[in-house]
C-alpha cells in the first residue's frame, strides 16, 4: 500500500504542483486548505506524512504543527514545513514548533522526494518497533496466563509443600537427560505433548510473530516446567533453548495427563507406578 501524504496549503496552484510530484512518485495524496481542516483529517485518519505550508489564512503552519505534536495519536507524525519566507529565520521557528524538516520555495522535486522518502523510512522503523512491542506484550500475557493456569492446577490439587513433593515425584517418572548449552529443546511447530521438568540449569523461551521475527519471552530454572503444548491450543509458535548445560526430566504424555487431572494423591502417599505403565483408572 502506498504512503498517504497530506498536503496542507491554501493556494490551489501550490497544492496542484505538490500533488503532481508526489502522485507521479506513487504516493496517495490527500489535501486540506486550512489548518483546521487538516487537523480534522488527521484526527479521523492520520496520514503517513504531512507537507504543511507556513503562511495560511487562519492558523499558521507553526500553530498546526504545535497542535499535531500535542496529541498522542499524531505526536510522532512526520511533518515537513514549506515556505517562501527567509529560510534561516523560519527554519528555527519551524524546529521549535516540532517540524521534522523544512523546504523553501521554489523547491527542487528530487530534493522534495528524497526528504519525503527519508522521513517515511524513519516512520516505518518506528511503526515496526511499536508493533513488535505490542506483540511481545501479548505473548507475555499469554505466557503468564498459561503459567497461572498450571499453578492453579497445583493449588487445587495439593498444598504448596505437597505440590513441590509432587513435582519432584513427577520428575522421577521421567527420563533425566543432559542438554548442552545453546541446544533447542522445543522447536516451533512441535506437535508432541512431552513435558519437561528442569532439574538443573536454565532455559530461555522465544516466540515468533507473524513475520517470523523472534523475541525473548522469558527464562526458567530448576523446579520450573514447560511443555510442547501450544498456549492457544493450536500449533506452537514458541521455541525453548538451553542457556547452559541443563538436566531435564523428559516426561511422556500419559504422565503429564496423570498430573494435570489431579490424580496426585497416589503419588504423595507413596504409591508407585511401574515405568511405562499408563495411569490407573
Q: Are strands 49-53 and 4-8 parallel, antiparallel or unpaired?
A: parallel
- Pair (162, 114) in one structural domain: no
Whether the CB-CB separation of 58 and 36 falls below 8 Å is answered with yes
pLDDT value, residue 94 = 85
Which pLDDT score, from 0 to 100, does residue 185 have?
A: 83
Sheet hosting strand 214-220, strand order edge to edge: 184-186, 238-242, 203-208, 214-220
Within-domain flag for 141: no
Res 95: pLDDT: 84
26: alpha, beta or left, given left = phi > 0 and alpha = psi -120 to 50? left
Pair 85, 181 in one domain:
no
Given 129, 147, 179, which residue is the final one in a domain? 129
Tell me the C-alpha distance between 77 and 86, whole Å. Answer: 25
- Domain stop point among 81, 112, 129: 129
Question: Would you state the pLDDT for residue 116?
Answer: 95
224 and 112 in a common domain: no
End-to-end CA distance of the chain: 59
Residue 278: inside a domain, yes or no? no
C-alpha–C-alpha distance, residues 71 and 38, integer Å:
14
139 in any annotated domain: no
Residue 125 lies in a domain: yes
Does 112 share its domain with 219?
no
Does residue 277 belong to any structural domain of this protein? no
Is 125 found in the same domain as 20?
Answer: yes
In a domain, 142, yes or no: no
Residue 212's domain comprises 158-268
- What CATH number did the domain enclosing 215 receive? 2.60.120.10
Residue 149 forms part of a structural domain: no
Establish if 173 belongs to a structural domain.
Answer: yes
- Give the pLDDT confidence score for residue 188 in this predicted structure: 64
Q: Please name the residue that has the C-alpha cell 499524531.
A: 74
- Largest alpha-carbon pair distance within the chain? 90
One domain, residues 38 and 114: yes
In the three-class reduction of DSSP (H, G, I as helix; E, B as strand; rest coil), residue 193 is classed as coil
**27 and 122 share a domain?**
yes
Please check whether residues 19 and 111 belong to one and the same domain: yes
**CB atoms near residue 68 (< 10 Å):** 25
Same domain, 103 and 203: no
CA 211 to chain centre: 11
Contacts 24+ apart (CB under 8 A), 148-154: 150/225, 153/260, 153/262
Q: Looking at the structure, do residues 191 and 115 belong to the same domain, yes or no?
A: no
CATH number at residue 11: 3.40.50.2300
| Spans of the chain, pLDDT less than 70 | 1, 85-87, 140, 143-173, 188-194, 209-212, 227-237, 252-281
pLDDT score for 232: 41
Is there a single domain that holds both residue 123 and residue 39? yes
**Cell triple for residue 209?**
510473530
Q: For position 184, what pLDDT does the model report?
A: 85
Are the beta carbons of 78 and 48 closer than 8 angstroms? yes
| Domain match, 205 and 259 both | yes
**Count of domains observed in the chain:** 2
Query: What is the CB neighbour count within 10 angstroms for residue 70?
Result: 10
Residues 6+ apart with CB under 8 A from 159: none
| Domain finish residue from 110, 129, 148 | 129
Amino acid at each position: 500500500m502506498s504512503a498517504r501524504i497530506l498536503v496542507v496549503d491554501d493556494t490551489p496552484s501550490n497544492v496542484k504542483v505538490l500533488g503532481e510530484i508526489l502522485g507521479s512518485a506513487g504516493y496517495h495524496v490527500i489535501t486540506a486548505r486550512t489548518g483546521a481542516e487538516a487537523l480534522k483529517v488527521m484526527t479521523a485518519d492520520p496520514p503517513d506524512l504531512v507537507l504543511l505550508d507556513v503562511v495560511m489564512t487562519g492558523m499558521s503552519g507553526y500553530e498546526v504543527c504545535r497542535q499535531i505534536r500535542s496529541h498522542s495519536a499524531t505526536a510522532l507524525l512526520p511533518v515537513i514545513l514549506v515556505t517562501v519566507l527567509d529560510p534561516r529565520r523560519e527554519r528555527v521557528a519551524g524546529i521549535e514548533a516540532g517540524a521534522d524538516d523544512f523546504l523553501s520555495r521554489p523547491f527542487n522535486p528530487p530534493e522534495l522526494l528524497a526528504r519525503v522518502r527519508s522521513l517515511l523510512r524513519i516512520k516505518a522503523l518506528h511503526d515496526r518497533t511499536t508493533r513488535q512491542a505490542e506483540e511481545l506484550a501479548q505473548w507475555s500475557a499469554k505466557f503468564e496466563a498459561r503459567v497461572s493456569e498450571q499453578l492453579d492446577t497445583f493449588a487445587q490439587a495439593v498444598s504448596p509443600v505437597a505440590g513441590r513433593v509432587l513435582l519432584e515425584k513427577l520428575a522421577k517418572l521421567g527420563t533425566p537427560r543432559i542438554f548442552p548449552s545453546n541446544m533447542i529443546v522445543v522447536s516451533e511447530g512441535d506437535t508432541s505433548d512431552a513435558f519437561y521438568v528442569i532439574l538443573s540449569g536454565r532455559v530461555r523461551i522465544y516466540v515468533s510473530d507473524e513475520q517470523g521475527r523472534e523475541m525473548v519471552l522469558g527464562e526458567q530454572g530448576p523446579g520450573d516446567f514447560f511443555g510442547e503444548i501450544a498456549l492457544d491450543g493450536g500449533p506452537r509458535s514458541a521455541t525453548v533453548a538451553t542457556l547452559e548445560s541443563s538436566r531435564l526430566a523428559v516426561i511422556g504424555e500419559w504422565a503429564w495427563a496423570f498430573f494435570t487431572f489431579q490424580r496426585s494423591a497416589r503419588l504423595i502417599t507413596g504409591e508407585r507406578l511401574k515405568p511405562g505403565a499408563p495411569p490407573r483408572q
